[in-house]
Amino acid sequence: MDILGLQGLILVRKLDRATTTKQLTPEDLSEFCVANGADSVRTRRETVLLFYAGSATQETLAGMFAKKIVLLEGLTESLALPTYLRKVGLDVTKEGIAIVPVMGKGNLAKWWRFFTAYEIPTFVTFDNDAKEDEKAMKRKDVLKTLGFDDLQASSLTASGKWLVSDSICVFGKNFEDTMRSSFAQYVEFETEARHSTGDSKPLTARFVAEKLALNNDDSGWACLRELSKKLRDLSSAQADEEIPF
């Protein structure tokens, strides 16, 4: 798929035995983005396709083939989360849920707007690590885009807890620390992983996710069950098939 050829991209859905289509022009996408908080200069009609094409990856565009989408900051969460969700009963592949890393907090709101413009239910996750977002502007951007007010956005971006709502999941201060505090054996398996996978954070996170067993004494499983429920309930014009061509 080529975003620069956006008008040739048609999302076909079969719903209640009826076939429907969704097709956008650059004007349509621009208007939707601006109406949902985007910068009106970068996403104006003349530049909106270049704005998206510049950061589109194969993994990102795979979301167009999904029934639902989960946006994450990076590879670490994207490799580990499907394993955790499968252990609490949600197979994202079977359910047609795309796990999409957008490579940074600053891209979360951007891609939420894109997929939502095509009416694909999209869920957002991030952590409150402030290394690349010292003043929380990127996180507040996505929260306001999702309809949270200033007070709620300030509260969520200051939290060090693992929080799950209908549209977002916040992994506390950062993903790794949240996992360590939520699972009793996490540090043990993390140390074991480093002997096998080296210093790769994504591979370590996936290794630990695969090793951890369900244990109701670990608070993390309760959060994951809640996340699983929110993803199942994520509203949509649920389609039997979604075929972009």
pLDDT tens digits, one per residue of 177-187: 999 999 999 99
Going by pLDDT thresholds of 50, 70 and 90, the confidence category of residue 237 is very low
Residue 151 has what pLDDT? 95
Of residues 77, 53, 63, the one with CA closest to residue 169:
77
DSSP β-ladder status, 122-126 and 68-72? parallel
- Give Dmax (Cα) for the chain: 54
Is the confidence at residue 42, as pLDDT, over 90? no
Residue 197 has what pLDDT? 76
Is the confidence at residue 1, as pLDDT, over 90? no
> What sign does the CA torsion over 12, 13, 17, 19 have?
negative
> What sign does the CA torsion over 51, 55, 59, 60 have?
negative
Is the confidence at residue 240, as pLDDT, over 50? no
Residues facing residue 70 across a β-bridge: 99, 123
Residue 126 has what pLDDT? 96
The amino acid sitting at 194 is: R
Q: What angle do CA 80, 182, 72 make, to 5 degrees?
A: 35
pLDDT digits (tens, 9 = 90+) for 44-85: 999 999 999 998 998 999 999 999 999 999 999 999 999 999
Residue 94 has what pLDDT? 95
Q: What is the mean pLDDT of residues 13-22?
A: 87
Residue 15 has what pLDDT? 79
Going by pLDDT thresholds of 50, 70 and 90, the confidence category of residue 236 is low
Token pair 């949509």: residue: 236
Residue 194 has what pLDDT? 86
Domain boundaries, the chain: 1-54, 58-235
Mean pLDDT of the chain, nearest integer: 91
More confident residue, 97 or 173: 97
151 token code pair: 């007070």
Percentage of the chain modeled with pLDDT above 90: 81
Is the confidence at residue 201, as pLDDT, over 80? yes
Q: What is the mean pLDDT of residues 216-245?
A: 76
